[in-house]
């Protein structure tokens, strides 16, 4: 596993956790003793965690024990929330990052940061069977993408308009995990490096969450603009959407860096009041 360099683990922790005392407190937890307290009320969560880890880490089985420890610890510490599918995908990205950035305690840092990432786009997860909020949020997301793209390239806005329902489905599939289930593992850290860059005023977690959520939207708009020729010259908007999604899944580091550059531009424009708020 390639190292990112000494002491770079603090970069994400500064944004996701902010308070260094919280990080120190998390690192003091005896995770082995904690997970030994798992009870029968956690059985459903534990069973689902095992299924998800075997599915997503079957070829890298050596990562299962530490990530299992993080997720079991989360479940115990957050029994009122519990485990949701997708948390494993987030945890894998976090754990790999903290290992590569030479964190002294990668499992503890992943646990400290997990709650933040889960909360960035929590509005896309239903709280109960009749919860319509995620669908409504996805519709709002698609409209905001259209507004942002149209403000930058009016002709392109007309092209994606018939595919807005597809963008709603996209939001429900990928937003809650901040694209961890979309981009390849060798570029997802670059994507998250954009989403979670900066200190966001230290302890102001609300500002940091809003900033990361906005950047998720900018990233999607930027990816549409990056692949604009596909949309402008394609004859079937829904087919163009499918191809666009496949291109995102196959994006290499150069494509991702280009998308992030456009995202930063869109973020600057919005900050100046020139795009959808």
The CATH code of the domain that includes 59 is: 1.10.8
Any residues with CB less than 8 A from the CB of 240 and at least 6 apart, and which? Answer: 159, 163, 230, 231, 234
pLDDT band at residue 128 under the 50/70/90 scheme: confident
Asked if residues 188 and 170 have their Cβ atoms less than 8 Å apart, the reply is: no
What interhelical angle do 188-195 and 87-100 show, nearest 10? 90
> Which contacts of 266-273 are long-range, i.e. CB under 8 A and separated by 24 or more positions?
266/148, 266/152, 266/218, 266/221, 266/222, 267/214, 267/215, 267/218, 269/151, 269/152, 270/148, 270/214, 270/218
Domain that holds residue 240: 124-271
Q: Over 80: is that where the pLDDT of 56 sits?
A: yes
User: Same domain, yes or no, for 138 and 78?
Assistant: no
Share of the chain above pLDDT 90, in %: 75
Please check whether residues 111 and 15 belong to one and the same domain: yes
Q: By mean pLDDT, which of 39-48, 52-61, 140-149 is the weakest?
A: 39-48
219 contacts 260 by C-beta, under 8 angstroms: yes
Whether the predicted pLDDT of 74 surpasses 90: yes
Whether residue 266 sits in one domain with residue 159: yes
pTM, two decimal places: 0.91
Give the per-residue pLDDT at 205.
Answer: 80
Q: Residue 80: its pLDDT value, please? A: 86
Q: How far, in Å, CA of 36 to CA of 232, rounded?
A: 57
Query: pLDDT above 70 covers what percent of the chain?
Result: 93
pLDDT at 183: 97
Provide the mean pLDDT of the chain. 91
| pLDDT of 277 | 43
Which one of 104, 120, 136 terminates a domain? 120
What is the pLDDT at residue 90? 97
Does residue 276 have a pLDDT over 50? Answer: no
250 confidence band (pLDDT: 50, 70, 90): very high
Given pLDDT bands bounded at 50, 70 and 90, which one contains residue 202?
A: low
- pLDDT for residue 59 is more than 90: no
Among candidate residues 94, 120, 146, the one where a domain is terminated:
120
- For residue 274, the model assigns a pLDDT of 52
The tally of domains found in the chain comes to 2
Position 9 scores a pLDDT of 67
Closest CA to 31 of 101, 112, 98: 112
Confirm whether 238 is domain-assigned.
Answer: yes
Q: What is the pLDDT of residue 6?
A: 45
> Are 72 and 165 members of one domain?
no
The reply to whether 172 and 260 lie within a common domain is yes
- 200 or 254: which carries more pLDDT confidence? 254
> pLDDT at position 273, please?
78
Check if the beta carbon of residue 103 is closer than 8 Å to that of residue 9: yes
């Amino acid at each position: 596993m390639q190292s990112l360099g000494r002491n770079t683990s603090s970069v994400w922790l500064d944004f996701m956790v902010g308070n260094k005392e919280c990080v120190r407190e998390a690192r003091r937890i005896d995770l082995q003793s904690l997970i030994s307290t798992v009870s029968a009320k956690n059985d459903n969560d534990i069973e689902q965690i095992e299924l998800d880890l075997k599915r997503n880490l079957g070829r890298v089985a050596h990562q299962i024990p530490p990530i299992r420890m993080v997720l079991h610890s989360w479940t115990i510490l957050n029994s009122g929330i519990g485990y949701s599918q997708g948390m494993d995908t987030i945890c894998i990205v976090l754990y790999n990052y903290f290992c590569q950035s030479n964190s002294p305690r990668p499992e503890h840092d992943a646990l400290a940061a997990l709650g933040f990432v889960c909360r960035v786009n929590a509005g896309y997860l239903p709280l109960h069977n009749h919860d319509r909020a995620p669908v409504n949020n996805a519709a709002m997301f698609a409209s905001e993408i259209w507004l942002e793209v149209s403000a930058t390239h009016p002709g392109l806005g007309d092209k994606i308009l018939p595919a807005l329902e597809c963008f709603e489905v996209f939001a429900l599939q990928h937003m809650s995990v901040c694209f961890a289930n979309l981009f390849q593992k060798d570029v997802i850290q670059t994507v998250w490096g954009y989403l979670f860059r900066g200190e966001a005023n230290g302890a102001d977690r609300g500002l940091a969450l809003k900033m990361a959520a906005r950047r998720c939207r900018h990233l999607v708009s930027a990816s549409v603009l990056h692949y604009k020729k596909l949309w402008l010259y394609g004859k079937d908007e829904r087919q163009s959407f499918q191809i666009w999604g496949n291109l995102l899944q196959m994006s290499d580091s150069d494509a991702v860096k280009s998308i992030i550059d456009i995202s930063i531009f869109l973020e600057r424009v919005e900050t100046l009041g020139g795009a959808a708020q």
